Amino acid sequence: MERRRRVDRLVALTHYLVEHPCQLVPLSKFADELGAAKSSLSEDVALIKRVLGELGEGFIETVPGAAGGVRYVPELKEDGAREVVLRLAAELSQEIRYLPGGFLYLTDLLFMPSLMESVGRIFATRFRELEPERVVTVETKGIPVALYTARALGVPAVIIRREGRVTEGPAVSINYLSGSTRRIQTMSLARRALPQGARVVLVDDFMRAGGTARGMMDLMAEFEATVLGTGMLVALKEPETKLVSDYFSLLVLKEIPENGQGLVVQPATWLEGG
């Protein structure tokens, strides 16, 4: 009977923690709900911590003290990250993904939640130690990257709009030169969408020359935000010198051939080795 209760608790605890990533939960919550002493729960948490640590796709963090508790932190690194990125590279190298004008069709992959959850975990694993408070992107295709990176970091996402929208109150706008359309474009962010002086990371789905990323950085300066890092799902290899200097991508598109034949998308070099 005692043993049976313990296995029940382990399943219930694992379920709750994994379903609420990055949320610090006081053990007292579980003490009430599962009818167990804190000392038993501490032992349960220690066991879960050990098992998840061995699996390597997320870990348990315990915070001592009266305001403490336990949280589950999702991760994806090394072999796990490489596997996802290699799968993406193979998918993206298909000729059918070539679009006239030198574009790559990514949208279907961006809106597959299970895939983007893995992508978000890879970004979060890389950004976590920088302690970002917000994940910022620009609409529309950057949104799933931002939402799932934010989920794995336990912070909100902030979405820059392509035009000022009447429905969000006072906003700050900037103009920038888009690399893909070679036109001056506008991006704007509502004042209330981002506190002044926040620590942010920038993400987006695709980088060509870096014009949009440069625009995001300029807009962040207007909010006195500290940009801790910039992550792209795919970056075009050429031009090697981008308009932003400090970024990384998961994938590199070697070039966009005229008709899509010989499209080559490769994992970025930082994911190699191991």
For the record, the structure tokens of 2 come out as 């005692």
Amino acid at the residue 146:
A
**If binding is defined by CB under 8 A, does position 167 make contact with its own copies?**
yes
Using CB under 8 A as the binding rule, the residues of this chain from 31 to 90 that contact its own copies are 47-48, 51-52, 55, 57-58, 74
What does the per-residue mask of binding to its own copies show for 11-30, with x meaning CB under 8 A?
A: xx-xx--xxxx-x-------
Output the smallest distance, CB 4 to its own copies, in A.
9
Bridging pattern class, strands 157-160 and 134-138: parallel
Stretch that binds its own copies, among 24-32, 161-169, 214-222, 256-264 (CB under 8 A): 161-169
Output the smallest distance, CB 68 to its own copies, in A.
20
**If binding is defined by CB under 8 A, does position 112 make contact with its own copies?**
yes
Output the smallest distance, CB 129 to its own copies, in A.
20
> Residue numbers of the site for its own copies (CB under 8 A)?
3, 6-8, 10-12, 14-15, 18-21, 23, 47-48, 51-52, 55, 57-58, 74, 99-101, 103, 105, 107-108, 111-114, 116-117, 139-140, 143-144, 146-148, 150-151, 154, 156-159, 161, 166-169, 180-181, 190, 192-193
